[in-house]
Amino acid sequence: MEKLKQIKCVRLLFGCLLLAVFSFSSCQDKVDESDIFTFMGETAFSYLQNNEDYTDFAYILSRVKLSKKSESELSQLLSARGNYTVFAPTNKAIRHYLDSIYETPNFDITLISDSIADYIARNSIIDNGDNEAYQTTDFQIGALEKTNMDDRYITIEYDTIANGKLAIIVNTRSRIVQGDIEVINGYIHGLDAVLELSRATLPSLIQQADNLHIFYELLRTTGWADSMKRVRDEDYEENHPEWGRDLNGNLSVRNPEHRYYGYTIFVETDSIFNEKWGIPMPVLANGILQNSAEIMEAIKQRCEAEYPDATNQDITNVDNAINRFVAYHLIPARITWDRLVFHHIELGYAYSMPDQLSINCFEYYETMGSTRRLLKITEGKTTEGKRINRHCTYNLKDYSEKEVDRPGILISNTNGSNLNNSTNGFYYPIDDILVYDEDVPGVVLNERIRWDISSLLSELITNGYRAIFDAGQHPFPKGYFERLTFTDETRCVYLPYQTGASQSNYQADEFNMRGQYDLTFRLPPVPYEGTWELRFSASSNPGFGMAQFYFGTNPKNLIAVGLPVDLRLATSSTAIGYRADTEDEDHNEQNDKDMRNRGYMKPPMHDGISRQGAVVTEPMRNSTTYAGYLRLRKIIWTGNVKPSDVLYVRVKSVLENANACFLLDLMEWCPKSVYNGPEGEDKW
């Protein structure tokens, strides 16, 4: 910090004022020369240029333009004010990389192609915007929140090296050899190898792995490999509105610049297939699989036993047993490792200490394929990692695991020396065969199933907006989401509260739908046929309006259910009847019953009120901080549902109020066996 003090003194001495960050025109990008540092102190670029270990990287930065339409180089960007995280390969690392790809010893760096220079430079730089650049103390296993200049995630893991020292590994193959080099406009982390990011699509990256020959053969023969090659919506790229409206209706906030497609795949390695199912190990000749027919026949027998009703013999048909097996491994969203299960404000957790987990958290994902199925991932302090389709009973006093009768399949964040971060998604190895056996819907998913709305929007996840550490407003234009549609009169603004703001929202975020709103939401499936209760969050706020709910299978002709819901009512009103919990459990249970009779439920106990990174102790269910503005649960509809049913909910404002608001926060499917079971539904 002494260096920062010196810099401040220099600023005062010379009276240097920094002007605008960037100046953009409609036709080209250019670094504003008034933004270049002119006072004493090292910028990221000057440090690299003046340090004998990084001169080659500095040269590359001077070769690469900001964009195709730019007049400025990246060297100018890193000479300007801002907050940049730079993963700088040493001269030795760059020489080794260039010698290997050009197959020429002591390759002349001045002959480097523009594409290779662009690849090295863009992969290495993160623009942290208004936030501080990343220090090594900010790192945790998984992807950094901000993407690099190629809109790709940089991943972090840890390993031990000589003398038992802990090493930070970046993108599987690069080790930080000199960390936290502080410069005026960010931090530099020196690497022993050029930071590599595959430009292959996810199926192609799996094809390149040395231990995934069987799984790639399954992707290829079923046709799923061809279904996961999309990277970016080029129509959106050219035609989307640049500006969106904020909460007040002002056209003042930028819409997302891109609309990327993404995928996540859980993969069994060749050895897992061999160990668990007895599938023959791959035989290769010149990299070509020689015993494909033998492998596929063994897979077919296993899959037909697991999916006896999938009788179509065409392997590319979704009703084929092998096809159905593969589809259950696929999620249509690019999910980073640390966001497979979301942790932020569950009771007992402090997000400033992310490695110290507390109670179990869950995410439910709808997998690909025409057969609608859910996959559950669980993680908590006793799960020993992220687990697929784990099941246990809980101690309802503190929500600790009581008895684990199904441990679940363990997910790995890396695949040895193989890259698992593709241009359009991630794959994660698993330690057992993933099948949708009868106990998945009948046991694992025979429970109340709760989603944060943002976890259901693939585009939000893929494009890096879900739970972003940014306190700003994030508008989305009509047509951005496939699952959520809305009219021109509706303003859709995503509000993350991850930076410490205290809100009574589940998982500390919300979608704020404003204006004369009229929105339609496609619901996720239920796991089995039966009587299910559908619930949505219903905020209590005098500034909100009244909403009519509609429900059905035809999104263009949904039927109104119930009377309009008045979101302005106080929680204590006779129409709701909320009473805070006391030490008298009989009182609490009776109040729960009374509220249910009126179609309401208290917020869940699981999440609490943010304490800005300190341990969460105040539950949403009985918050005193937000006693007048609780996010209650409203029972929208009850009836018989089948897994194959594609159902929609429409929410429409019934007030003539251009500033009316509806909050999308959480939703639940709850089976009758839970809400009307012998033990009753828990408060968590």
271 and 420 co-located in one domain: yes
Q: What's the CA gap between 57 and 44, in Å, rounded? A: 11
Q: Which domain holds residue 219?
A: 201-445
In this prediction, residue 40 carries a pLDDT of 53
| Amino acid letter for position 338 | D
In this prediction, residue 297 carries a pLDDT of 98
pLDDT tier, 41 (very low <50, low <70, confident <90, very high otherwise) = confident
Mean pLDDT score of the chain: 91
CATH number of the domain within which 487 lies: 2.60.120
CATH number of the domain within which 13 lies: 2.30.180.10
Half-sphere exposure of 579 (CA within 13 A, CB side): 17
245 and 383 co-located in one domain: yes
Q: For a pLDDT cut of 70, what percent of the chain falls above it?
A: 94
Q: Which residues of 627-658 are buried (b: 16+ CB within 10 A; e: fewer)?
A: eebbbbbbbbbbeebeeeeebbbbbbbeeeee
The total number of structural domains that make up the chain: 3
Closest CA to 441 of 622, 188, 644, 141: 644
Structural domain includes residue 331:
yes
Q: Which of 191, 215, 247 is the last residue of a domain?
A: 191
Strands (E), 67-173: 84-89, 125-127, 142-143, 155-160, 166-170
517 and 660 co-located in one domain: yes
The tens digit of pLDDT for each residue in 318-374 reads: 999 999 999 999 999 999 999 999 999 999 999 999 999 999 999 999 999 999 999
Higher-pLDDT residue of 618, 18: 618
In this prediction, residue 161 carries a pLDDT of 76
pLDDT tier, 624 (very low <50, low <70, confident <90, very high otherwise) = confident
Q: What's the CA gap between 608 and 619, in Å, rounded? A: 4
184 and 210 co-located in one domain: no
Under 8 Å CB-to-CB from 401, ≥6 apart: which residues?
360, 380, 382, 383, 392, 393, 394, 395
288 and 181 co-located in one domain: no
The tens digit of pLDDT for each residue in 407-464 reads: 999 999 999 999 999 999 999 999 999 999 999 999 999 999 999 999 999 999 999 9
Instruction: Kindly state the tokens that stand for 130.
Output: 């208004």
Structural domain includes residue 254:
yes
In this prediction, residue 23 carries a pLDDT of 34
263 and 342 co-located in one domain: yes
Under 8 Å CB-to-CB from 303, ≥6 apart: which residues?
310, 321, 322, 324, 325
